[in-house]
Structure 1
Amino acid sequence: MRVTPVNPMGGGRRAEVMGQSSVAEVCRLLVVGPTSQVELSVPCHVPLADLMPALLRGLGPDLADRGLEHSGWVAQRLGEPPLDEDDSVAEHGLLDGDTVHLRPRSEQIPPLDFDDLIDGVSSGIKARSGLWRPRTTRLASLLALAGWLVVALAALPASGYHYRALIAAEAVVLLGAVTVATSRLVVDRSVAALTGAAMVGFVIEAAALGVADAGAGGDPASTARLMLMTGSAAAVVGAGLLLLLTAGHPSARPLALAGTAVACGGFVGCGLGTLAGLDRTQTAAVIALLCVGARPLVPVAAFTCAGLALPPLPVEPGELQDDIDPEPSAEVLARAAAADVNMTALHAACGVLSAAALVTMALDHHWIPTALVVLVGLAQALASRPMTSTWHRAALLLPAVAGLVVIVLPIGARAGDGSEPGWLAPAVSLAFALAAAGCARVLPRRRMTPMWGRAGDFAHITALVLAVPLVSWLLGLIGLIRSVVG
């Protein structure tokens, strides 16, 4: 802390509490004590309890010790109750130039009496909740921006104009320029995220409208499949462009990563349905297996996107003696946190795709898709064992649970027409409930031995191995092999 005089003629002093906060994160306050006053520059996001020693030293060297005589000091604004010492300056809404009084806890400033009724009513109204503040204006403006972008996206397909695709392409160029300007020049990430998302939507819309206008009068089913294929390809391009635009903003990169991964999965699914002629159940089976195969690559991709790179492994004996340059701790910790967020985004994207695939297969009541849902769900549940992040585990477990629920619920509906026994759905549900109760009782209290870990690995591999021939059967590869062999 550094204390410098501010006005020798007036007897005041100016104390600057210098920390690691930047100039933009400090607030200048006038702190009034029993016999003196100081002008302080204090960090906005430090609790008031941590600032009190510095405030007292700025007012006088003996004030901290004098606080033992009257149960300490409190900070309060004139006519208001004491400020909560657990909250920061920003949480109290203190602004530059505000005055704060330090008073003994037993001699707090009492509430002010109003000699002007209008002034009292005004003060009471200002203290009510729901006041319109500058951040409310920003939130309302962002909501208006999002709403009008949605209206623009919805209005263009319904217009019937001949050059709809061209207008959508022009909107892509305009929104792309706005996104670049707001992300790089103005550095307004909220506006950049909204305009970037709208840009991706207009890319998809331009491609779909172009295909629809070109295929007018043709086969509706073929046109619809082609529109989906083109729209998904445009989504990949738009998401990739959004990923490039957010390269300089680490906070926006996870959303762009997740959007790109989901768009790529949708493109693969539409491509399988359009080019290979697969139905939705077959496409869902392939997507589910691709998600299972892509999950081991998630940590590597997140590690790379965070800008981390491991040094090459030594090859020659002499390389073992080479010195490794130390990495700055702050940079390593920041990039490690970014890698964790990127990994969460990629796991969430895989979770969205696998949930859609498992639910689609569960809606097909044949035994092969049902068995695939059970096996893939079991594999995802077992793959979550080594993960320590709640979000990573949720991205694996929730799709599996969703697929199982969609399998179990229709069993009760089919029991009414006699195709399924009426006791099957409650029995399966109770079995899962008892298994969950056992996990809640045993797993938090007991450390599992390595034998159970090896058993889980074996069950995981077995589920994946059994799923491959079922997918082959579902795609018709088994029949093709039998016809070729003989």
Structure 2
Amino acid sequence: RLLAASASAAGGAVLTLAVVAAFTPLFLAIAAVATGGAVTSLLLILFDLTVQEAASVTLLLTVLFGAFVPSLSFRLSGMRTPPLPTNAQQLQEGIDPHGSNEVAVRTVIADGWMTALFAATGLLCAAGLAALVQPFGWPGGCMAGALSLLLLLHGRGMGSSWQRLALLVPGVLGVAVLVIRAGHAVSPSALPALVVVLFAVAAVCTIASWTVPGRRLVPYWGRIGELMHSAAAISLLPLALWILGVFGWLRSLNL
């Protein structure tokens, strides 16, 4: 059903785009989401993976796709970066300035592409986060937490409000789903400790919302955020391998 629905959505988006010949970013974003669903369904059918395992692979591909969204949007808007010169003669090539109106128009187009593609990325991540914690376990929970942190940290660098929301909303929803599923999974004796931790985190976030806005932070806070951003992105691959059981398979080998 998922494969049929994804194929129908992708085909419908492409056909509608061919007929309407407008709103290209919107329809291609729909096609991108449908492609993610098709990839997940193919993993389920061809490799007999569980939903959680297939979601981990799809999320890896989605994060990889999201890394190329800015450069892809730049190219789709019609802008090109001139190649670096290799000799003295090439220093005089391509030095004519572009018209300001053309640059402004292309910038708006690139911003629209980024918004649509990041929205597609956010939708795929939201669906994948829900699948990672069904059922709840350490591998899926750790990957859901890492991906939520990655989305929250990546969203802080977006220049558009819609692009920021496209990443922050799935990140917040991922944290909420993770907490809810963890609350259902832990034993009743551990619930008070979980509640205390949640209240402590809420208190820290509340204090930060009162004190941080409008203040000039020292540079190392930004550096810490960048390191956490990179660590969250790098950790997704080993966490996905953990979910897929690769580490257990390697341990079982008699070498």
CA contact (8 A) 2:152 2:172 kept: no
Matched, 1:447 2:221: no
- Larger relative helix fraction: 2
User: What residue is the counterpart of 1:394 in the other structure?
Assistant: 165
2:58 to 270, 273, 287: 287
Alignment-derived partner of residue 241 in structure 1: 15
Give aligned pairs, total: 255
Unaligned runs of 5+ in 2: none
Give the deviation of 1:268 after TM superposition.
0.9
CA distance in 2, matches of 1:391, 1:470: 29
> What secondary structure does 1:295 align onto?
helix
Aligned-residue Cα RMSD (Å) equals 2.2
Unaligned runs of 5+ in 1: 1-226
Could you give the per-residue CA deviations for residues 58-101 of structure 1, whole angstroms, max 9, x where no partner exists? xxxxxxxxxxxxxxxxxxxxxxxxxxxxxxxxxxxxxxxxxxxx
Once residues 62 and 207 of structure 2 are traced to their aligned partners in structure 1, the CA distance between those partners, rounded to angstroms, is 29
1:299 is displaced (CA, Å) by 1.0
User: Which of 373, 383, 392 lines up with 2:154 in the alignment?
Assistant: 383
The structure showing larger relative contact order (alpha-carbon pairs under 8 Å, at least 6 residues apart) is 2
Q: Which residue of 1 aligns with 2:89?
A: 318
CA deviation vs aligned residue, 1:278-313 (integer Å, no higher than 9, x gap) = 111111212222222221211122122222222222
Q: Does 1:374 align with 2:148?
A: no
Describe how 1:4-403 pairs up with structure 2 within 5 A.
227-247=1-21, 249=22, 252-322=23-93, 324-403=95-174
TM-score normalised to structure 2 length: 0.89
Superposed, 1:396-435 pairs within 5 Å as 396-413=167-184, 418-419=187-188, 421-435=190-204
Q: Does the 8 Å contact 1:363/1:406 carry over to 2? A: no
CA drift of 1:465 comes to 2.8
Opposite residue 254 of structure 1, the aligned amino acid is P
Task: Return the offset for 1:259.
Answer: 0.5
Residues 408, 428 of structure 1: 8 Å contact kept: no
2:227 matched residue in structure 1 = 458
AA of the residue aligned to 1:462? A
Alpha-carbon offset, residue 454 of structure 1: 1.9
Provide the secondary structure at the position in 2 that maps to 1:383.
helix
Q: Greater strand share, 1 or 2?
A: 1
Asked if the contact 1:239–1:263 (Cα under 8 Å) also holds between the matched residues in 2, the reply is no
Superposed CA deviations along residues 361-419 of structure 1, whole A, max 9, x for unmatched, are 1232111111111111112222223222222221222112112111222444556xx44
Q: TM-score normalized by structure 1?
A: 0.49
> Matched residues in 2 for 1:379 and 1:329: separation?
35
Separation in structure 1 between the aligned mates of residue 94 and residue 182 of structure 2, nearest angstrom: 65
- Is contact 1:292-1:380 (8 Å) kept? no
Deviation at 1:345, TM superposition (A): 0.7
Once the two structures are aligned, what percentage of the paired residues are identical?
37
Alpha-carbon contact 1:379-1:463 (below 8 Å) kept: yes
Deviations 1:103-154 (A, max 9, x none): xxxxxxxxxxxxxxxxxxxxxxxxxxxxxxxxxxxxxxxxxxxxxxxxxxxx
Question: What CA distance in whole angstroms lies between the structure 2 residues aligned with 1:449 and 1:401?
Answer: 26
Distance 1:303 1:468, change over 3 A: same
Q: What is the CA–CA distance in structure 2 between the aligned matches of 1:234 and 1:315, rounded to whole Å?
A: 48
Alpha-carbon distance between aligned partners in 2 of 1:407 and 1:277, rounded to the nearest angstrom: 25
User: Secondary structure at 1:423's aligned position in 2?
Assistant: helix
SS at match of 1:421: helix
